[in-house]
Amino acid sequence: MGELQTKADGAASARRVIVVLSGLPGTGKTSLGQALAAEVGGTYFSFGRFVRSLADTAGKPRDRPTLQSLGDALVADDARTFVDRAMATIEGTNTALIIDGVRHLTVLDVLESRAQQNGELLLLIHLTAPQSLRLERLAARGTSSTDALTAEQHPSEHDVVQGLPQRALFCFDTESELQETLSAIRAKLAELA
């Protein structure tokens, strides 16, 4: 999948593939994104890690409400600048790119525009999981059920629930084991080749 062969003007050409993962916290975006990047020899990037690094630089706490509000403010201020700053931190620009944690339609729009300008193929995959499983996964990371449920009510999650699933090429329930989900995604991506 690192280079997906597509037809352009009747001739085969290699296009860089960008897989974008969206979903509520605890749906397995990070685990799946890292596994997918390792499998295809691609580059993994996390918007969550990028926002945490900006919070650290600004001396802000790393709690979810602060990070959600910081991300919202950066996107509302100028989504293109936010995405450009994030993308500037990525190494390995000739490999497949797996982007974890898109939470805003405007960020997806910018990523799609950039991909189109660069002749890249961008695929949005939306992940879901039952609430009980998401809460269990988050508890294993030290997030209480109360904090997790409060985070889901934050305005930054609106697009994750309402807009991004409708724009996704594929939606996957990650209730199954990681390897099963990875295999299902691999099969869907192979259909595009």
pLDDT at 93: 66
Gap between the Cα atoms of 5 and 16, Å rounded:
9
Q: Which helix (H) or strand (E) covers residue 176, if one does?
A: none
- How many other C-beta atoms are found inside a 10 Å radius of the C-beta of residue 98? 27
Residue-range domain boundaries for the chain: 3-192
Q: What is the pLDDT of residue 91?
A: 73
Q: Which residues are paired to 20 by β-bridges?
A: 99, 124
- pLDDT value of position 151: 87
**3-state per-residue secondary structure call for 22-73:** ECCCCCCHHHHHHHHHHHHCCEEEEHHHHHHHHHHHHCCCCCHHHHHHHHHH
Q: pLDDT tens, 121-151? A: 999 999 999 999 999 999 999 989 999 998 8
User: In tens digits, what is the pLDDT along the chain, a chain of 193 residues?
Assistant: 333 333 333 334 578 889 999 999 999 999 999 999 998 889 999 999 999 999 999 999 998 899 999 999 999 999 999 999 999 998 766 778 999 999 999 999 999 999 999 899 999 999 999 999 999 999 999 989 999 998 888 888 989 999 999 999 989 998 888 888 888 888 887 787 6
* Helix 145-152 with 64-87: angle, nearest 10 deg: 60
With CA atoms as reference, report the closest residue to 42 among 135, 120, 119: 120
The pTM is what?
0.88
Per CATH, the number for 3-192 is 3.40.50.300
